[in-house]
């Protein structure tokens, strides 16, 4: 019986090929940050209030003006077809049916147009800014992705800013993972070899010149960068350490969240990903100032277990746990979830 996200993790591992599981589950280096993303939640305490009418709890909110039924979104993750043949299309279907929003990855195994066609709800597009290996100044491919995303109906561009190069995942290397034959990153032309571009703050203006869509930066961990993000006119920040897959020994996302929220001071929306496994985790993040959280690996677990139905079930489990946590802590609305609800270590 699968009754929580941890159950889905175990079931997904049992179903997946070991190399693919290592690709999904591994962190960089000694995986200090990968573990910290979970361990940090265990050090936070909830301060529940009593004698509040919680006969109903309203979880509805908006993100960049888009209505969603819960403050739980789907984070961008690569290669969903490793988990299920329908891949990102199944995920997009489930997200809309659950009343929330999916962020599609540049490194998807279905094209961004296919994902948009399958979607039953709103969707954002995550952009890796790449350049062809033969011309390190050429951004035309990334520009084409932005144009395609806009044309396909994506509602925001989520720029991953913590990947000027990709972290080395040693567990993945030991598993000798290679993309299975017949499976590829569908948004890349077969003959195009690229590598990540080293972005600077000047590139935010370049991106703004390409699109009128909201621009959200994913991978901010410090107050200093949060201030710069606001000064450069971004519409949102995702506090994230890339699921512990880039630089090891950085703070857990939930640890970095308060200083980013304080630095932003309401000037743009702040979200968080990293280690969310329980409704109480979501509640803590909201109390510390996140407008919503994003989940990555748990979505892949649900997909591996039961396709779109598994993704939908994972989302509903987490939503129900959040509603229960709100009721038991005396919060009938998201607006009533504030900093006084938690005690930090």
Contacts of 182 (CB under 8 A, 6+ apart): none
For 167, phi and psi rounded to 5 degrees? Answer: -65, 155
Number of other CB atoms surrounding residue 205 within 10 Å: 10
Token pair belonging to 225:
């960068």
Number of other CB atoms surrounding residue 18 within 10 Å: 11
Q: Which residues are catalytic?
A: 242
3-state percent helix, strand, coil for the chain, nearest multiple of 5: 45, 15, 40
Task: Give the ranges where the chain is alpha helix by DSSP (H).
Answer: 5-15, 18-25, 32-39, 87-97, 112-118, 140-152, 170-174, 202-210, 223-231, 253-264, 279-287, 297-329
């Amino acid at each position: 019986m699968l009754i929580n996200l941890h159950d889905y993790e175990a079931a997904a591992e049992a179903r997946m090929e070991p190399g693919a599981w290592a690709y999904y589950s591994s962190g960089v280096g000694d995986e200090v940050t990968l573990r910290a993303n979970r361990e940090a939640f265990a050090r936070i305490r909830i301060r529940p209030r009593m004698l509040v009418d919680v006969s109903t709890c309203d979880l509805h909110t908006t993100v960049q003006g888009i209505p969603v039924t819960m403050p739980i979104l789907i984070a961008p993750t690569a290669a969903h077809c490793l988990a299920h043949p329908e891949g990102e299309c199944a995920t997009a279907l489930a997200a809309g049916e659950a009343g929330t929003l999916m962020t599609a990855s540049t490194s998807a195994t279905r094209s961004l147009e296919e994902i948009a066609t399958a979607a039953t709800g709103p969707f954002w597009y995550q952009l890796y800014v790449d350049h062809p290996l033969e011309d390190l100044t050429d951004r035309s491919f990334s520009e084409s992705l932005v144009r395609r995303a806009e044309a396909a109906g994506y509602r925001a561009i989520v720029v991953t800013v913590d990947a000027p190069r990709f972290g080395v995942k040693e567990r993945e290397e030991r598993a000798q993972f290679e993309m299975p034959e017949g499976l590829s990153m569908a948004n890349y032309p077969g003959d195009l070899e690229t590598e990540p571009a080293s972005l600077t703050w000047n590139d935010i203006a370049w991106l703004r010149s390409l699109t009128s869509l909201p621009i959200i930066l994913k991978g901010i961990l410090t107050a200093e960068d949060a201030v710069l993000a606001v000064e450069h006119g971004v519409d949102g920040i995702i506090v994230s350490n890339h699921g512990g897959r880039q630089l090891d020994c950085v703070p857990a996302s939930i640890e970095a969240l308060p200083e980013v929220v304080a630095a932003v001071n309401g000037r743009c929306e702040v979200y968080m990903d990293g280690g969310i496994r329980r409704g109480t985790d979501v509640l803590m993040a909201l109390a510390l100032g996140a407008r919503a959280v994003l989940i990555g690996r748990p979505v892949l677990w649900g997909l591996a277990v039961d396709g779109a139905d598994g993704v939908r079930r994972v989302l509903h489990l987490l939503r129900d746990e959040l509603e229960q946590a709100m009721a038991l802590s005396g919060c009938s609305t998201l607006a009533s979830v504030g900093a006084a609800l938690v005690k930090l270590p």
